[in-house]
Amino acid sequence: MNTIFKGDSINKGARILANMIKDSGITVILTGAGMDTESNIPDFRGRDGWWKNIDPRQVASIYTFDRDYPLFHEFYSMRIKILEGVEPHEGHYILADLEKKGLIDSIATQNVSGLHSRAGSNNVYELHGNIRTIRCNQCNNEGKLEDFLAGKDCSFCNNKALRPNVVLFGEALPMDAWSRAEEDIKKSQLLIIIGTSLEVYPVSYLPILTKGKIVLINNEDVNANYEFDIKLIGKAGEILKELDKYIA
């Protein structure tokens, strides 16, 4: 089908999507950084995204962690500080409410902000980890956020190896979150993909697992080697508010 709704037709697309949600037995949401930009967290490949000025392999890789800890530390401290005072926006709360109403089953997210859980969603699979929790890369013990920010060594093994619990380039995804997301998407009758360029493997491959309908909500069209049933092009938060009007 691949029908695109944008501008004045968003309202029609939102109504169609609301009916798709009501008709679906199992609905899964897959989110990316575009879900969080309306909470003032920059995305990666959008107009003002992180990777416009920085090469991800230079800062967000296990290679940098091993060979240039100060650079790794500076980049992740900056990303953690950006989250200070950040709150979920209405779109996050609408998704949490849809779960409470039994209309969506789970959210698989590439975001490390933790905003879905903070908004009240329970079944959240953080495929790229969570930036607010810290562990030691040597002894694997939990660390404190303030110790990481202060550049302290691990208090258990004394190594300079504290790091946020995020997936770095060159690392595997967390097994548990990944297999739950795979399982849910395989069973899903509707998969709604929100705010992602779908450029990063293996998450970009997840949608092919569904036998159900696939919907995109993004502020630009994206390339994928699978068909979308409908695409709603615009701001995620605004589209979710529109959708919410037709859910009641």
Contact string (CB under 6 A) for ligand OAD, positions 191-220, x = contact: ----xxx-xx-----------------xxx
Which range binds ligand OAD by CB under 6 A, 1-9, 13-21, 28-36, 100-108? 28-36
Task: Give the number of residues in contact with ligand OAD, rule: CB under 6 A.
Answer: 27
The DSSP 8-state label assigned to residue 153 in this structure reads P
Q: How many CB atoms lie within 10 A of CB 42?
A: 16
Contact string (CB under 6 A) for ligand OAD, positions 122-141, x = contact: ------x-------------
Nearer to ligand OAD, 56 or 120 (CB): 56
| Nearest distance in Å: CB 143, ligand OAD | 20
Phi-psi sector, 198: left (phi>0), alpha (psi -120 to 50), beta: left
Contact (CB, 8 A) for 99 and 125: no
Does position 32 interact with ligand OAD (CB under 6 A)? The reply is yes
Q: For tokens 């795979």, what's the residue? A: 182
User: Which residues within the stretch 70-109 sit at the binding site for ligand OAD (CB under 6 A)?
Assistant: none
| Nearest distance in Å: CB 52, ligand OAD | 10
Nearer to ligand OAD, 137 or 218 (CB): 218
102-112 as b/e: b if 16+ CB within 10 A: ebbbbbbbbbb
Look at residue 23 and give its three-state secondary structure: helix
Applying CB under 6 A, among 24, 43, 185, 214 the residue interacting with ligand OAD is 43
Does position 41 interact with ligand OAD (CB under 6 A)? The reply is no
Among 234, 247, 229, smallest CA distance to 3 is for 229
| Nearest distance in Å: CB 197, ligand OAD | 3
Q: Which residue is nearest to ligand OAD (CB)?
A: 34
Binning the chain into helix, strand and coil, the percentages to the nearest 5 are 40, 20, 40
Applying CB under 6 A, among 38, 99, 105, 184 the residue interacting with ligand OAD is 38
Does position 121 interact with ligand OAD (CB under 6 A)? The reply is no
The stretches of the chain forming alpha helices (DSSP H) are: 10-23, 56-59, 62-67, 69-82, 90-100, 115-118, 145-149, 175-187, 236-245
Q: Is 128 an annotated catalytic residue? A: yes
Does position 167 interact with ligand OAD (CB under 6 A)? The reply is yes
- Return the axis-axis angle of helices 236-245 and 90-100, rounded to nearest 10°: 40
Q: For tokens 């390339």, what's the residue? A: 223
Applying CB under 6 A, among 24, 27, 37, 106 the residue interacting with ligand OAD is 37
The DSSP 8-state label assigned to residue 122 in this structure reads S
Nearer to ligand OAD, 26 or 80 (CB): 80
Q: Which residues contribute to the site for ligand OAD (CB under 6 A)? A: 32-34, 37-38, 43-46, 49, 56, 60, 110, 128, 167, 169, 195-197, 199-200, 218-220, 222, 235-236
